[in-house]
Amino acid sequence: MNAGLRSMLFVPGDSARKLVKGAGSGADALVLDLEDSVPASRLSIARTMVRDYLTANRDRSAQQLWVRVNPLSTDKALPDLSAIVGGAPDGILLPKTTSANDATMLDHFLSALEAREGVDAGYVRIVAVATETPAAMFTLGTFAGCSPRLAGLTWGAEDLSSAVGASTNRNEKGELDFTYQLARSLCLLAAVAADVEPIDTVYVDFRDSKGLMENSRAALRAGFTGKIAIHPDQVPIINEAFMPTAEDVAYAHRVIEAFASGAGTVGLDGKMLDMPHLKQAERVLAMSRRHKA
């Protein structure tokens, strides 16, 4: 069973060509998009295409199928959901949330639609894009326990800077400005506090594979468990970056062995290790097992 969300590839919901390409991309999940990559004039046809794609691809053992719907603050969200839940998407990526209330409200909509469509109750999971509005930044602590469907949180710098009225989200050196680094860190902490997966945002320069690898490795080191892709070429790089290396795995085994005596603090290679190190080692092995499966 592929339950991980290491690589999530965005596919515009109205592009038959990209749907085919996405299927062969090796992404853990596709995110069939009904929001910003679909022009308003194509939304209706995109809903039908996404629904048909979901229905035609019921076996999700190799690749999960998620859908990004329009924000709940718009009048497009309910028609989006109504059109696609019958196809039993593995999850909904919910953009531009303002607090966990959005996830709770989506949970209720999904419960009703699952009942109507004969989809198992609670099947459809949720990942919230939790930093796209300024108001959301002050409510990131509210996600814990908001819905058993919540599987992850991700963040975005593009919509936030446009909402703020910033002309760019980068500084002179090309690094993310403090406001957006804050969004990244708060998303990470909020996800961990809610016991769901922290998923890193897109790397927009899709021809720069070296930059993507560095950016993904930095995200893994920070604690993110996966990353969103916008181009199929990004998927193998993300999959590799978030797969613990052989050295990571070997070291994790040594850490676990060092704790075998039951002691709470041990020494390894001249360094003190305590419970957080043991937890981290178990996490590395769990990630490695999951992605090998």
Phi/psi of residue 9, nearest 5 degrees: -95, 120
Indicate the residue among 83 and 202 with the shorter CB distance to ligand COA.
Answer: 202
Q: How far apart are CA 278 and CA 253, in angstroms?
A: 10
Q: Interface with ligand COA includes 226 (CB under 6 A)?
A: no
Specify the stretch interacting with ligand COA by CB under 6 A; choose among 76-84, 110-118, 133-141, 227-235: 227-235
Which residue of 91, 152, 232, 244 would you call a contact of ligand COA, by CB under 6 A?
232
Phi/psi of residue 210, nearest 5 degrees: -65, -45
Using DSSP, how many helices (H) and how many strands (E) does the chain show?
Answer: 10, 10
Q: Which of 196, 255, 252, 182 is nearest to 224 (CA)?
A: 196
Specify the stretch interacting with ligand COA by CB under 6 A; choose among 147-155, 229-237, 244-252, 254-262: 229-237
Residue 33's binding partner, choosing from ligand COA, Mg ion, none, with beta-carbon cut-off 5 to 8 A by kind?
ligand COA
Q: And the tokens for 178?
A: 């403090």
Which residue of 5, 6, 22, 51 would you call a contact of ligand COA, by CB under 6 A?
22
Amino acid at 211: G
Which residue reads 């108001």 in tokens?
Answer: 135
Q: Interface with Mg ion includes 159 (CB under 5 A)?
A: yes
Q: Interface with Mg ion includes 164 (CB under 5 A)?
A: no
Q: How far apart are CA 123 and CA 135, in angstroms?
A: 29
Per CB under 6 A, contacts with ligand COA among 173-212 are 202
Which residues of the shown chain bind ligand COA in the complex (CB under 6 A)?
9-12, 17-18, 21-22, 33, 36-37, 202, 230-232
